[in-house]
């Protein structure tokens, strides 16, 4: 799970792994690790601390990742446009891996995803999921899609 600060990476992880949501914002320091079983596959989810202009993603946490969930806040357009930069960091460190996009906070009235943003995701061939960690919308489906992508690469 990678993305800017406060986009909902921890909330999405907790909703998926424990089916809980908290309105309390707790900054992730470093990385939090959880596990879940999806379609007989043990998924180890690394919730990497958020990125901003002062603190880039700690790329050492990416080593060994088989896939990536790119998370942005659909009510903050800057976090959406930052995904391409984050993806560049990922690919520079570990190469191209299967990825899905969580356009999180789809339950908020301030939703701000333009057609141009969707076009940029299409250009990357990313599967995009409008998610709500609060309501649980598309959270399970997003992780299942990532696992399907990972499973299709196993030789």
Give the pLDDT means over successive 10-residue stretches in the chain (155 positions).
91 92 72 85 84 64 89 92 88 93 94 86 91 95 94 71
Give me the half-sphere count of Cα atoms (radius 13 Å) on the Cβ side of residue 110.
7
End-to-end CA distance of the chain: give it in Å, rounded.
Answer: 25
Residue with tokens 């690790």: 33
pLDDT at 54: 47
Taking the domain 2-153, which CATH number applies? 3.40.50.300
Q: Spell out the domain ranges in the chain.
A: 2-153
């Amino acid at each position: 799970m990678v993305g800017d600060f406060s986009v909902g990476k921890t909330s999405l992880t907790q909703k998926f792994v424990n089916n809980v949501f908290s309105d309390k914002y707790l900054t992730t320091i470093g990385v939090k690790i959880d596990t879940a079983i999806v379609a007989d596959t043990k998924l180890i989810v690394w919730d990497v601390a958020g990125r901003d202009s002062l603190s880039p993603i700690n790329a050492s946490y990416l080593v060994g990742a088989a896939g990536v969930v790119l998370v942005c806040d659909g009510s903050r357009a800057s976090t959406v446009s930052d995904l391409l930069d984050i993806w560049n960091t990922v690919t520079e460190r570990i190469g191209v891996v299967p990825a899905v996009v969580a356009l999180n906070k789809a339950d908020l009235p301030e939703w701000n995803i333009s057609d141009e943003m969707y076009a940029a995701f299409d250009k990357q061939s990313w599967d995009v999921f409008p998610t709500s960690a609060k309501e649980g919308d598309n959270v399970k489906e997003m992780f299942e899609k990532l696992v399907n992508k990972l499973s299709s690469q196993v030789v």
